[in-house]
Structure 1
Amino acid sequence: MTIHIRETQSNDLKPLTALMYEYVVGFYNNPWPGDQAIQLLINNLLHQQIGAQFVAEKDGKLIGFATLFFTYSTMKAERVTIMNDLFVTEAFREGEAEAKLFAHCQQYTHEHGCAYMSWITAVTNERAQQLFEKLGAKRGDWVNYSITS
C-alpha cells in the first residue's frame, strides 16, 4: 500500500502524540512538554487558525507528520508558512514519506496564497539538508537566532 498524506484529524490525537514524543524526545533529545500540552497544540492546529498539520499514513498507521505555522512577511506584506516540523519514523526515512510530506506542505502554502514556505533544521542534521536540497530548496541568507525567556 502506498503512503497517504492527509490533514490531521481529531481521531489522530493519541497516535500523533506518540509520534511527536518520538520526534521531540527520541530524535531531538529534548524534554517532553507533556501529553496535555502537545494535545492542546494538536487541537489548535486542527482548526487551522495558527497553522496546519499533516500526517503520513501507511496501512492505517501514522508514520510521520509535518507542521506549518502561519505568520506574515513584512518584506512581502503577505502571509507565509513556516514548516516547523517534518518527521518520519526511522523505518521510512530517506524515502517517499518525507518527500510527500514536504510536497504537501509546499502545495498547501501555494494553494492558500502564501508568499513562501520557510523552515530551519539543525546544523547537524545533514541528512535533512541533503533531502531539502534534492527537493529544490536553497539555503537562505539569514542567520537564525533564539533566546529563552
Structure 2
Amino acid sequence: MRIVQATLEHLDLLTPLFVRYREFYGERPFPDSSRKFLETRLKRDESVIYLALPDDGDDKLLGFCQLYPSYSSLSLKRVWILNDIFVAEDARRQLVADRLLQTAKKMAKQTQAVRMRVATSRDNEVAQKVYESIGFVEDEQFKNYVLPISSE
C-alpha cells in the first residue's frame, strides 16, 4: 500500500468512504454535502488528508485520515488534530490505520508540531489500541469538554 496526500482530484474516490465514516458514527450520509465539505477543506488548505491506496492502482481507497491545524498558546507551537480516520471494511487488519497514523506523525514532526491530538468514542477499543500502539497517551493534565452549539 502507499499513502498519498489528497488533492481535489481525489474527491470522487474519497467521498464514498468519508460518507461511510460518518455513518459509522451515526450520522446521516449526505453525500453531496460531504463532498462539498471535503472540497472546501482542500481548496482552502484547511486540512491535510492522507489516503491509503493499494500499490497496484488508484481506483480503490483503503482508508483515509484528516488532520486539522491548531496551535498551543502554552508551548507556542503547532498542534495537529487528528479529527477523522477510517479504514474500508474489506481493508481492515492490513495495518492501514497504522500506516496512515505513521504518515501523520511524520508530517507533525516535519511541521515542528508539539503534539497530535485525537479523540474517539469511549467504546471504540480497537481505535484506542491502535492509537496507543503508535504512542498516543491519554491526557492526564487536561480534561476535555464539549460545548454543543445549536443551530436554532
TM-score by length of 1: 0.88
Between the aligned residues of both structures, percent identity stands at 27
Unaligned runs of 5+ residues in structure 2 are none
Q: Deviations over 1:15-46 (max 9, x none)?
A: 21100011101x212123x3343223322333
1:31 is aligned to 28
Alpha-carbon shift at residue 140 of structure 1 (Å): 1.1
Alpha-carbon shift at residue 72 of structure 1 (Å): 0.8
Q: Distance in 1 between matches of 2:9 and 2:102?
A: 24
Question: Conserved in 2, the CA contact under 8 Å of 1:24 and 1:30?
Answer: yes
Q: Distance in 2 between matches of 1:126 and 1:84?
A: 17
The two structures, once aligned, show a CA RMSD in angstroms of: 1.6
Question: Conserved in 1, the CA contact under 8 Å of 2:8 and 2:43?
Answer: no
Question: Conserved in 2, the CA contact under 8 Å of 1:8 and 1:55?
Answer: yes
Candidates 12, 35, 48, aligned match of 2:10 = 12
Q: Distance in 2 between matches of 1:94 and 1:145?
A: 32
Q: Distance in 2 between matches of 1:52 and 1:9?
A: 9
Alpha-carbon shift at residue 48 of structure 1 (Å): 6.5
Q: How many residues align?
A: 145
Q: Moved runs in structure 1, 4+ residues, more than 4 A? A: none
- Is 1:96 matched with 2:92? no
Unaligned runs of 5+ residues in structure 1 are none
